[in-house]
Amino acid sequence: MAQLVIEGADLVVRLSLMEKLGAFHADVRVPLTTVRAVRVAADPWTELRGLRAPGTGVPSVISLGTRRGSGVRDFAAVYSHTPAVVIDAVGAEFDRLVISSSKAWVEAERIATAVRSASVDGIVPAPGRRAPRTSS
């Protein structure tokens, strides 16, 4: 399963060799300063936009690769009924990342914390959790 890794000032979606082949794409790198929202989707299939092009897909089983439609370009690594971290970005290679993770809540909180520390406003805390207070 794809891994979400913070490397310096970037969020990296690290793909396995098989995922790279299925997605027709190398690891995805998004600057933390472009991230505008981080949340968890219990049903990641509702977060997918556009058509898969290129990539691999079987409805309700796997969606892997680039998705394009109506002026958006997204990247998905979605598996079965595993919840996903959804990352919305502005000015990055992809407008949205939808990445399945068995620890989606923990991953979303970790990414949101990294984005806050990169001095970016507009992060949406994971549902059911409050954003930490920041001093002004």
Q: Poorest-confidence range of 41-45, 57-61, 130-134?
A: 130-134
Provide the pLDDT for residue 118: 86
- Whether 63 is covered by a domain: the verdict is yes
Domain that holds residue 40: 3-117
Rg (CA), the chain: 14
Whether a cis peptide bond, with omega within 30° of 0, leads into 59 is no
pTM, full prediction: 0.85
89 inside domain: yes
Residue 60 covered by a domain: yes
Does 132 map to a domain? no
Indicate the number of domains in the chain: 1
Range with the lowest mean pLDDT among 1-5, 64-68, 118-122? Answer: 118-122
Domain for residue 85, yes or no? Answer: yes
131 within domain boundaries: no
Asked whether residue 52 is domain-assigned, the answer is: yes
pLDDT in tens, 112-131: 999 998 854 444 444 444 44
84 is a domain residue: yes
Is 50 exceeded by the pLDDT of residue 57? Answer: yes
Give the count of alpha carbons within 13 A of 76, CB side only.
33
